Each structure stands twice: as C-alpha cells, then as structure tokens.
Amino acid sequence: MTTATAPPPGPRAGLRLGARLAEASWLPSALAVVGLLVLWEVAALTFLSGSKAFPPVTDVVGNVVDDHELYVRNLESTLRAVWIGWLYGNLLATAFGVVAVAVPHAERPALHLAVAISALPIIALGPIFQVSLQGDAPRAALAALAVFLTTMIGTIVGLRACDRTSLDMVRAFGGGTVTCLRKVRLRAALPDYFAALRISAPAAMLGGIIGEFIGGSDNGIGVALIAARAQADPARVWGLALVATLVAGAGYALIALVGRLLSPWAPRGLDGPR
C-alpha cells in the first residue's frame, strides 16, 4: 500500500509568494529604512568617524537601551500631552468639516478660519499658551493646532467624495441633508478621513515636541533633547530623535490599520485606483 505524498512546490507557488510580497505595501519602505540605517552605520565608522555629530547606529541604540528609563519617562510625558491635543484637535476639525459640508455657505469661512489658525506661528503662540494655560495644556494646544487643518480638509474632501447618484436617490425618497450625510457621505468619507488622521499623528508629535522646546515643561522629549544638546551628547540626541520617529510611525501605522479594517473597500496604496 502506497501513501500519497504532496507534490513539490512548483513555479506557481513561487509566483504566488512573489505576488504576496509585491502586495505588501510596507515592504519597500521597510527595506529603504534598513538600507538607510546600514548606510548610516558604515558612513559613521568610515569617512565620518571623526565627526561627533554622526555617531554609529549601534551607539545610538546602545544609549537607548542603557538609559531606557530616561527615554520612557520623557516619552510618557510627551505622549500624555500629545494624545490629548491629537484627540481634541481632530474632534474640532471633524466638526468644522461636517458643518462646512452640511451648510454650503459655511464652507468658505470655515476654510479661511482653519488656514488662519494654521498660519499662526507656533513660536509666537507657545509663550501665549504657557502664560494662559497650565500643566500639559500648552503642549496639547500646540499639538491640536498642528492637526487641525489637515483633518478638516480630509473631512471635507472625504464627505464630498461620494457617489452623486446615491445622493440623488436618497433625496428622491425624501431624505434631507442629515440623511444624505448619515447614509452616503460618512461611509464615502472614511478613506480620505483616515488618510488625514494618519498624517495628523506625526504632526501632533512634532507640535508637542516644539511646545517643549519653547519651555514650560519639566520633562518630555523636547526637554531631554535640549539637555542632551547642552551636554554635547550626540548619541542621546539621535536616540531621542529616533524614539520620537518610531513612536510617530507607530501611530501612523495604527491609524492606517484601523482605517483598513473600517474601510476595506478603499485602495491599499497611496497611488491605487479610487
């Protein structure tokens, strides 16, 4: 009695694996990051070995591992303020975007107001917030300002990117503006809305760190960066920058995952067909 054995993987299996790897939109970015880190390490150990401004990646990672308590403590302080600013800034921007679409005459004034708010220099607003607000509020306010315009425009573009035929059908059955918004526009807005939220995550992180640079906080990534610069510690400066970048990228990826789950019909790539 003979037993059946599975046939060896043929060229079709290799083609399927290649297709799956090609569909992984994160793979080119991951390879580019790894290549950049390798190039950085090689350059720091060869022709940039005499420069104190560019320590090897291994030294930067070693500094993060050895002083992980310092990194965790300052990162928690920054995220505590950034998270609040990101949340309230996006909620306010979403409300402005919905009103701008629901009330056509309000769209132009709302956009002008959003542009004016975003054009205000952070360097000037930071001291004002520090004088008028307390605790983490100044950093949170700057983080909220950093995300406001992006999310508002993403909300407006998304709500307007719906099928006109569906809108006409809802109106033909007696539906009004609220019904069109609830039945058609909200679902159509999810891809563009989550694209704006993805961009807002690194922007909020940057706004919070700039607020710490201006002052008014005892700890945080920005405060630690100032201290590391004063101590002429390039490994810690790069380590703090690397940690902030990784956290901002993690926020971007998490929001992208949630958007993928809530809008599976949306194109996977930035250049995919709509």
pLDDT in tens, 14-68: 445 444 544 456 678 788 888 888 898 888 888 777 777 788 888 889 999 998 8
> CA–CA separation, 40 vs 24, rounded Å?
25
Where do runs of H (alpha helix) occur along the chain?
11-23, 26-45, 57-66, 68-102, 107-119, 122-132, 137-160, 164-172, 177-180, 186-214, 221-230, 234-262
Q: State how far Cα 124 lies from the chain centre.
A: 24
- Longest Cα–Cα distance of the chain, Å, equals 88
- What's the distance, CA 189 to chain centroid? 18
* Per-residue pLDDT band at 255 (split at 50, 70, 90): very high
pLDDT category at 1 given cuts 50, 70, 90 is very low
pLDDT for the residue numbered 272: 42
At residue 126, the pLDDT reads: 79
Q: Output 136-139 pairs: Cβ under 8 A, ≥24 positions apart.
A: 136/80, 136/81, 136/84, 136/217, 138/211, 138/216, 138/217, 139/78, 139/81, 139/82, 139/85, 139/207, 139/208, 139/211, 139/212, 139/216, 139/217, 139/220
According to the model, what pLDDT value does residue 110 have?
Answer: 84
pLDDT of amino acid 274: 44
pTM over 0.85: no
The mean of the pLDDT values for the chain is 81
Residue 29 and residue 235: Cα distance in Å, rounded? 25
Residue 169 token pair = 């059908």
Provide the pLDDT for residue 65: 92
Pair 82, 207: CB distance under 8 Å: yes
Q: At what angle do helices 107-119 and 68-102 cross, to 10 degrees?
A: 150
CA 26, distance to chain mean position in Å, is 15
**CATH fold for the domain made of 65-262:** MetI-like fold (1.10.3720)
pLDDT at 24: 52
Taking the alpha carbons at both ends of the chain, their separation in whole angstroms is 56
pLDDT above 50 (res 11): no
Which band of pLDDT confidence, cut at 50, 70 and 90, is reported for residue 70?
A: very high
The average pLDDT across 230-243 equals: 91
pLDDT given for residue 269 in this prediction: 52
Q: Where are the domains of the chain?
A: 65-262
